[in-house]
Chains A and B, each alone.
Chain A
């Protein structure tokens, strides 16, 4: 395997891991606050659609991103309303959001653009520009550092770097700030937070809103950064893979980064090598493409040790009288 192949695979890994990373951190923050969210997929899908639609209409991708984040946060608040205020079942609310998103994106797109539930192809400023990092061109021919820096790290859309920056930010917020401490506490023992005079409801809504912002960025990157336009169901299960990565990482930001990179790498490898020969045995393409899912099952079966969710996760908080 030569260096060109490795560079291409790692480059592809970064791109494929980005939407997973956003969604994974989104789920992590929400669940740390005790609100389970399996509606990541739906929020990403709506965001992907809004980003593509608004970018196309306005001709500016950043307005599209703002629209995507707004739409995703609105859906998050619907989830919050059902799960926090009305104490509904959080899983059912999440499933409902997924169904709603799958249907509404296609219906609105069809009525808006009349192209059978897709948006027109984006071009020019309606697409996310790719950034060339400083000195990338100068360093290109330097051995080792050149391919690593210019080939892999440079040349991605801004949101890729934002996603990776979100990992330390999330870690800092959760483990070094007062808000983070309270957020974690509200997911473990909301009654204790309540007795100390802090609003459980406000904290949980805050977490759900942050989750919405991150899902919005994930969706926007899918439709304006990775591809050029929205097609129906384009998230293709990435929201669920992100959930698996979150459990794999046991609800911690840094392990979440490694988990999504692993899933991204597997997908990139499956795209690059469709038939792998191992010890004279040819692995068919189907086996390669099933690998992320097999890994998910293995992980969820407890292979990585016990993954303990936040203790109050999934439960609505009822104040004692």
Chain B
């Protein structure tokens, strides 16, 4: 059995090597999978866009269990992929372990910072994007109560919640913001049943707009809002099309752009920290034909004004990750 496994491993490594004679870029998805309609899918779209425009090829792989992270990242690097783009905050320890072993390969980590000479860390200013959708939620709310469903209670997700609450309170200082989290294990990103139940519990507390930042769990939240005839806000990718007329907007995080840029820069890309904030167009809110009727001109004007003020530095949105506190709570 063991020798069989080794042979399988060797065979797959060989296959990987054969398919990558030159230095093709590679993309490693996080748990949740390539087609999560959200974070990972955005990365996939960015890679596909690069492929269509450059005619190049890339390799991708989906992590399906915690234990595979280091193994898969190492395998991609060993196979000669360059740069290796790794998605998700949970892969910071992965790169800390793998990147030093491949000093000539460039790595890109999205959503977290790793301080190594051959790693580019791309972080998004989720608090700024969430601030904008928080404003929209507060303006659209009729009950004066809005809510948030997160996946796991980690600083990254708390930063979404914090920005959302700050934006809402900028519009209406008396607004009540309910914040709930789905769970404390990675299963929390894939439990639409619990997501829906939490959303219904929030609705019973008077919330009429719910913002979901919870991966696959978020689909259950959006569904619950659509069933209840209330409004929801999607995350990462544009999710407005999922329930037209019920999804107020989506907090966009341009993961696709980050992946596209990394693939374009190719091997030997510039490393260090890249901050994708509002000014850099890394975050934003989605406006398309599916929610055009939900966002009035007045709402749009107010949000655009706030966006300009944030870019100009007149308004500072607090980043939860700097001191683990939130002024809005």
Contacts and interface: CB of A to CB of B under 8 A. Distances in A.
Interface centre among A116, A226, A267 (most CB of B within 10 A): A116
Interface string A265-296: 00110011010000000000110011000000
B183 interface: yes
A231 B200 contact: no
Contacts of B33: 116-117, 232
A12 B216 contact: no
Interface stretch (B7-15, B70-78, B185-193): B185-193
Interface string B175-206: 00000110110010011111011101100100
Given A115-B35, A227-B223, A8 B193 contact: no
Contacts of A16: 193, 197
A271 B201 contact: yes
A301 interface: no
Contact of B190 (A9, A114, A234): A234
B231 interface: no
A115 B44 CA distance: 13
Contact of B34 (A9, A116, A226, A289): A116
B36 interface: yes
B248 interface: no
B93 to A, nearest CB: 21
Contact of A236 (B153, B184, B191, B198): B191
A229 B34 CA distance: 18
Interface string B31-60: 001111000010000000000000000000
A237 B190 CA distance: 12
Contacts of A165: none
A5 B181 CA distance: 19
B190 A232 contact: yes
Contacts of B187: 233, 236-237
A115 to B, nearest CB: 5
B220 interface: yes
Nearest to A233: B190
B194 A236 contact: yes
B183 A289 contact: yes
Contact of B200 (A4, A8, A116, A274): A8
A118 B35 contact: yes
Nearest to A102: B64
A43 to B, nearest CB: 17
B38 to A, nearest CB: 11
A227 B184 contact: no
B219 interface: yes
A99 to B, nearest CB: 12
Contact of B192 (A117, A231, A286): A231
A289 B216 contact: no
Contact of B197 (A5, A15, A222, A285): A15
A4 B200 CA distance: 13
A116 B204 contact: no
Interface in B241-287: 242
A38 interface: no
B194 A271 contact: yes
Contacts of B220: 227
A13 to B, nearest CB: 10
A308 B220 CA distance: 39
Nearest to A287: B184
A276 to B, nearest CB: 13
Interface centre among B192, B200, B219 (most CB of A within 10 A): B192
Interface centre among A9, A117, A231, A274 (most CB of B within 10 A): A231
Contact of B193 (A121, A227, A274): A227
A228 interface: yes
A128 to B, nearest CB: 12
A121 B219 contact: yes
Given A5-B204, A285-B181, A227 B196 contact: yes
A272 B193 contact: no
Contacts of B193: 16, 222, 226-227, 234, 236
B142 to A, nearest CB: 18
A117 B64 CA distance: 12
A165 to B, nearest CB: 22
A286 B184 contact: yes
A152 to B, nearest CB: 12
B204 A4 contact: yes
Nearest to B153: A285
A234 B196 CA distance: 13
Interface in A231-270: 231-234, 236-237, 267-268
B216 A231 contact: yes
Given A12-B200, A271-B197, 17 more contacts: A12-B201, A116-B36, A116-B41, A118-B35, A121-B219, A121-B242, A227-B192, A227-B196, A229-B219, A231-B219, A232-B190, A234-B190, A236-B187, A236-B191, A267-B194, A268-B197, A271-B198
Which 10 A-B pairs have CB atoms at the shortest separation, nearest pair first? Answer: A116-B35, A8-B204, A272-B201, A227-B192, A116-B33, A286-B184, A271-B198, A226-B193, A231-B216, A271-B197
24 contacts: A4-B204, A8-B200, A16-B197, A115-B35, A116-B34, A118-B216, A121-B219, A121-B242, A226-B193, A226-B196, A227-B192, A227-B196, A231-B190, A232-B190, A233-B190, A234-B192, A236-B194, A268-B201, A271-B194, A274-B181, A285-B153, A285-B184, A286-B153, A289-B184
Interface of A: 4-5, 8-9, 12, 15-16, 114-118, 121, 222, 226-229, 231-234, 236-237, 267-268, 271-272, 274, 285-286, 289-290
